[in-house]
Amino acid sequence: MRVDVFIYVQHLLGIGHLKRASLLAKAMHKIGLKVIFVTGGRPVPDLNMGKIETLQLPPLRAADDSFKVLMDIDDQVVDEDWKNSRKETLLEAFKTTNPKVLLIEMFPFGRRQMRFELDPLIARAKEQGVPVVTSVRDILTTHKTPGKGEWIIERVLKDIDQVLVHGDSSFISLQDSFPLAEKVAHKITYTGYVVETSNNDTVTTEKKIAFPQNKAKDNTQHGTRNGVLISAGGGAVALPLAKAVLEAKNLCKLKDIPWRLLLGDNLPDRDFDEISNNAPKGLTVERNRPDFQALLKTSQLSVSQAGYNTILELLTTLTPAIVVPFAADTQSEQTTRAKKLEDYGVLTVISEKDLSPVNLAHAIDAAIDRPVTKITLDLNGTENSALIIQKIIQKNNTHG
């Protein structure tokens, strides 16, 4: 059974990578491409791939936010035998589906810890004349290891046919976070931002959307906004924000309206129960919900981390926001994007080191009367990416 696109994605801590890749898969399926969606992270209950064929590899996760140690579903450090077994499963799937394009996520710009299976997968694709495309977000993590940047460029030149950057170069260029990207500029295509929008039935390569940032009291098509929505992405690093929220609620002007705190499935039950048991009156604590974007549309204010997907959902729903970027070790991506948006007046940033109940309460009070601001971004990345992959297949068929 031959497929058009073999998509490989590995999420290690949060679920942002998985969500972005799933949107790309659905867009490709929508224009008639046959896709197999291969994921190697912990299963996500709310991920709905519809009729798209999926393959869940034996799950891997990062032991902590250093991303250096890999663990299996039973929280055991994986050994070489385990890795070899998973590699063989992956290669067999590639052989069986015989794809026309291999789309991988982040590598070689990231995910170097997955070389045990990505190196042989890419080698197999190159042997068979299958184009290899890598999918990256707008901002890369800072690379401080000597020679790492040069190694990335060498691998792109050797193994990658095209780099899809899911961003808008007029807002943030890949070179801003990775200056060496200019050496592979001929392989880079900016797709626009990948986000699920209400008008995604229209496929166009020129759409630009301007976002006015609402005041907290603005109305929406769903009626008057009410309530504070707090989220922390996949949930593995949610505790500091969750604990600050518990105390901040009764310190701010919005203490008498409904609050909802969403915690990811990766947060252990014992931590979830602790937060739930200490929640003040008027604060509902739940696991992540599939209707998060719908909840944002009717929320008076959002408090969250600052991952790629969350930021775009905030912009598309025009929700006033306070963000606390994840900034462990060399993880500068969320801070860079959030600070730039703060400079435009779109949202408020609180750094992890400055996060406290008092500081959060003050930020919430200030956000209520934030003035209207506009920013223009290309949000057609989902559809554009699908069309680019389709053109690669057509070109390869013509020359093949």
Is cis: bond before 108, omega within 30 of 0? yes
Superfamily of domain 209-377: Glycogen Phosphorylase B; (3.40.50.2000)
How much is the pLDDT for 237?
A: 66
User: Which residue stretches of the chain are H helix?
Assistant: 16-30, 80-97, 115-127, 148-159, 174-177, 239-248, 269-277, 292-297, 308-316, 333-343, 357-367, 381-399
The DSSP secondary-structure symbol of 110 reads S
CATH 3.40.50.2000 domain locations along the chain:
5-198+379-399, 209-377
Q: Which residues of 346-380 are buried (b: 16+ CB within 10 A; e: fewer)?
A: bbbbbebeebebebbbbbbeebeebeeeebebbbb
DSSP for 278-335, please give it: TPPTTEEEEE--TTHHHHHHT-SEEEE---HHHHHHHHHTT--EEE-----TT--HHH
Amino acid identity for residue 90 in this structure: L
How much is the pLDDT for 219?
A: 40
Half-sphere exposure of 399 (CA within 13 A, CB side): 10
How much is the pLDDT for 214?
A: 46
CATH code of the region 5-198+379-399? 3.40.50.2000
Amino acid identity for residue 352 in this structure: E
How much is the pLDDT for 209?
A: 46
Q: Which residues pair with 302 in a beta bridge?
A: 229, 321
Tokens 């930021």 sit at which residue? 311
pLDDT tens digit at each of 400 positions of the chain: 789 999 999 998 778 889 999 999 999 999 999 999 999 998 887 788 999 999 999 999 988 777 788 999 998 999 999 999 999 999 999 999 999 999 999 999 999 999 999 999 999 999 999 999 999 999 998 667 889 999 999 999 999 999 999 999 999 999 999 999 999 999 999 999 999 865 433 333 334 444 544 444 444 433 478 899 999 765 556 889 999 999 999 999 999 999 999 998 778 889 899 999 999 999 999 998 888 889 999 999 999 999 898 999 998 888 899 999 987 766 788 999 999 999 988 899 999 999 999 999 999 999 887 765 778 899 999 999 999 999 999 988 776 5
Amino acid identity for residue 370 in this structure: R
Q: Which two tokens mark 333?
A: 């991506």
